[in-house]
Amino acid sequence: MNAIQQGGSIMRRKSPDGSREEDLAWKAYEKIRTMIFMNEIGKGQKLNHRELVDRLNMSRTPIIQALKCMELQGLVRNEPNRGFYVSCLGLEELEDIFQLREDLELSLLRSLSLPLTEEQGGWLNSIFSNFIEAGRNGQFKKRLFHDMELHLAVAGMAGRAVSRQTLRDLLDRLYLRFEQETLFFRGPDTSEMEHRLFLDCLIAGDREKSGQALREHLRNTRAHAVQSYKQRLSEKESWPE
């Protein structure tokens, strides 16, 4: 299960024989979440129930259940007598999420058992290779997915399941509610170098230097996102009415 498809676990149930299975509500959640990530449903756009019924080929009930779950996570909002809309973040919330993300990722890094095993280092390098390949092939969505995958993989190695889930939820709030290409794309070379430095220090077992590299990477990403957000806001305000 990938970083985009891990949501909605609270909507999974056990079958009568005790084994876990995906119910229709969880399937609806997974598909809608992926559609938002892929910009098939735009930020601020209304989620039309009838269209979702046709696209997902299922009844209205599991779709409503999925949307209510997404509302609890802050990914969509429900306007009375109007329906569900994909949520958009304001500048204050953007900065707050980035600060929470930095604090959480650095805390998880301090919990890691170092040095990493050869298997762990190989896994991280494999994800990073996919990240580079996607960027050089101009596959922005795929590159962004592998970026999330890498950060969540490191978080998972800390063995703190609740903290990792919280990080995934924060990443959802960033990447599912913002115009990703505009706010987060800083060019492949810059991001590649920052990730490479972080991984090299981490795999070498240097907790202090890996922490410094991670902090710098997250703060650079935050600064670019805030600057891009303000620029887009200024451009919208200058548009003729």
Q: Could you tell me if 79 and 115 lie in one domain?
A: no
Q: Which residues, at least 6 apart from 64, have a Cβ–Cβ distance to it below 8 Å?
A: 49
Q: Could you tell me if 22 and 82 lie in one domain?
A: yes
**Any idea of the CA torsion for 150, 187, 233, 176, to the nearest 10 degrees?**
-30
pLDDT for residue 127: 98
Q: Could you tell me if 147 and 234 lie in one domain?
A: yes
Domain endpoint, select from 49, 65, 86: 86
Residue 59 lies in a domain: yes
pLDDT for residue 198: 98
* Polymer length in residues for the chain: 241
pLDDT tens digits, 102-118? 999 999 999 999 999 99
What's this model's pTM, rounded to 2 decimal places? Answer: 0.81
pLDDT for residue 89: 83
Domain endpoint, select from 86, 113, 135: 86
pLDDT for residue 182: 61
Q: Could you tell me if 183 and 122 lie in one domain?
A: yes
- List the domain range (segments joined by +) for residue 38: 9-86
Which residues in the chain come in under a pLDDT of 50?
A: 1-21
* CA–CA gap between residue 36 and residue 47 (Å, rounded): 10
Residue 25 lies in a domain: yes
User: Angle CA(219)–CA(222)–CA(226) in degrees, nearest 5?
Assistant: 140
According to DSSP, the residues that pair with 84 across neighbouring strands are: 78
Give, in order, the Cα–Cα distances in Å from 108 to each of 70, 119, 161: 26, 19, 10
Q: Could you tell me if 65 and 124 lie in one domain?
A: no
Q: Could you tell me if 104 and 193 lie in one domain?
A: yes
Q: Give me the number of domains the chain comprises.
A: 2
pLDDT for residue 14: 40
Q: Could you tell me if 65 and 104 lie in one domain?
A: no
Residue 2 lies in a domain: no
Q: Which residue has the tokens 């935050």?
A: 222
Domain endpoint, select from 86, 108, 136: 86
